[in-house]
Amino acid sequence: MITKTNYTLTRSKRRTIAIYVRNGIVDVRAPMRASKCEIDKFVQSKEKWISDRLAESRELQSKRDEFVQNNSAFIPQLKTEYIAKAKSYIPTRVMYFSKLMNVTPIAVKINSAKTRWGSCSGRKSLNFSWRLIMADDDVIDYVVVHELAHITEMNHSPRFWAIVENILPDYKTRQLKLKQLQKVLSVQDWD
């Protein structure tokens, strides 16, 4: 079985084969027991999907390069301002919602995470990416409530989502807005 797609292969204890396309690289994750022939067959069956994702990846990279070229002089200054705003604004929202939800994080930190808007550690410390400050206020509130809910439920069970919905009945709309922001920022380079 010969597949036209070049890919990197990672084997693990997972049960299914999965394909990820990131930055023009095709990464296949497969179970230990899956044969190379079986993996190639799966990849071959997804070649149209892979080709489409690679095209999107090239387009995003082109847009990212154009954005950096057009805004390189302003990015460092804006980034400094955004980080300062995030450090002053996000903790105030955490304080507001923590009282409503009757939970108390041990710390609230602003970091430079690129792939996560926020996180809650097992020790109940909250972390938020400074990039979140680019979102609308209602979206920032959604991420804050989401992470505060993890203090009570460290998973995404129905009980977790019930906590979020109790505070923000329209949380699904806010989630969509967050995904749209993620798409916009994916073509920009805020390193």
For residue 126, give the DSSP letter: E
Q: Encoding tokens for residue 79? A: 């980034």
Q: What is the pLDDT of residues 139-151, one digit of tens each?
A: 999 999 999 999 9
Q: How far from 125 is each of 2, 93, 99, CA to CA, in Å?
A: 49, 15, 16
Neighbouring CB atoms inside 10 A of 133's CB total: 19
Helix or strand holding residue 9 (H, E):
strand 8-12
Q: pTM score > 0.75 for this model?
A: no
Among candidate residues 64, 178, 174, the one with its CA nearest the CA of residue 117: 178
Q: What is the pLDDT of residues 60-118, one digit of tens each?
A: 667 656 765 665 556 667 788 889 999 999 999 999 999 999 999 999 999 998 889 99
Cα–Cα distance, 180 to 33 (Å, whole number): 38
Helix or strand holding residue 26 (H, E):
strand 25-31
- 127 — pLDDT class (breaks 50, 70, 90): very high
Residue-level pLDDT at 79:
82
Name the more confident of 175 and 59: 175
